[in-house]
Structure 1
């Protein structure tokens, strides 16, 4: 019988203490690698757009836009309550603090209840408050396509050509913008559209 030229490998039989030591060493290496990871990149606020005011001072959090759920709107809905259909933040007056534009209507459950379009502001820890009404619900219009870009509010206003048009189906559409000028919002209107576009 020929003997093996290899050394005796009997000592390589792993014992539980060997595996325990290996596991502990591996865990230590993984923990050390986690501690030596580079710091995560931090996001920086983009520079303000033209006409949006100055950026927040270094080390301070940027101002947040008013939350419309905390505002009281001048819209009498009785027991059905109100619904904020859409809201968009934006710095409308160029002071570096964002306002919120909110489209609100009564929660009628059916039909097309008229909308109110309001501008909200907030100072300190006070509740958001309405500072301007862009669309009065008394006008019986529905606001859609609400947007704020570069300090300009834009929306489509859906309305009715006569009292005989069913309240579910507005047949007129007008594209409108508002911009803060001096001490008031100035409205500019586009051409009225026919009912085929007022989906």
Structure 2
């Protein structure tokens, strides 16, 4: 008979006490791993940015000063949409607002609202300046892009109550700013009158 080159092991029979100690050690490792996992909101984030997208709703426009010059008249939000525009996991709000008027169609502005570090809503970008003299016929956020139907006028002779031009415009966050792309403008009477259709 051959003898083994390995020395005899003193403890070659497992007793219940050994199994209990092993089970306790494994339970401690599993519990520690559960406590040391990263937050769900920040698990895929890089660059040290902290986010609480799962718990913080998109900012609302109520009480946020919008950069509209209304000469003492109140402002009115005519369209609003929300979504994650910059890919940080947190929702932003996009609002179309104008000065309240008794007649006619005053020009609109489109603004992006985000929450500050203290949680207050603030304007972080202007997508459409009221100086472009267009109003908004529809607004949506889809796949990280803002889409708006802009209504305008083909000449100064067109009454301000009745825009005769319609254009769909998109803004997308790229390279640290919003970039605009537009489809060809069309006559309002050729449009089907529905947004996104």
TM-score past 0.5 threshold: yes
Give the Å deviation of 1:150. 1.1
Residue 73 of structure 1: SS of its match in structure 2? coil
The answer for the alignment partner of 1:76 in structure 2 is 69
Deviations, residues 71-93 of structure 1 (Å, cap 9, x unaligned): 11110112211001111111100
Name which of 121, 137, 142 aligns with 1:144: 137
Unaligned segments of structure 1, at least 5 residues? 1-46
| C-alpha separation in 1, matches of 2:63 and 2:54 | 21
Partner Cα distance (1:131, 1:95) in 2 = 15
- For the 8 Å contact 1:92–1:152, the answer to whether it is kept is yes
Correspondence for 2:158: 165
TM-score normalised by structure 2 residue count: 0.68
Taking structure 1 as the reference length, the TM-score comes to 0.68
Residue 86 (structure 2) aligns with:
93
Tell me which stretches of 4 or more aligned residues in structure 1 moved more than 2 Å: 123-127
> How much has 1:61 moved relative to structure 2?
4.9
Query: How has the CA–CA distance of structure 1 residues 134 and 61 changed in structure 2, closer, same or farther, with 3 Å as cutoff?
Result: closer
Selected match of 2:60 from 47, 52, 67 = 67
- Aligned residue for 1:196, secondary structure, equals helix
1:180 paired residue number:
173
Distance 1:80 1:100 in 2: 24
Pair member with larger Rg: 1
Q: Measure the CA separation in 1 of the matches of 2:144 and 2:87.
A: 7
Once the two structures are TM-superposed, the CA of residue 126 in structure 1 deviates from its matched residue by 4.3
1:109 pairs, out of 102, 108, 118, with 102
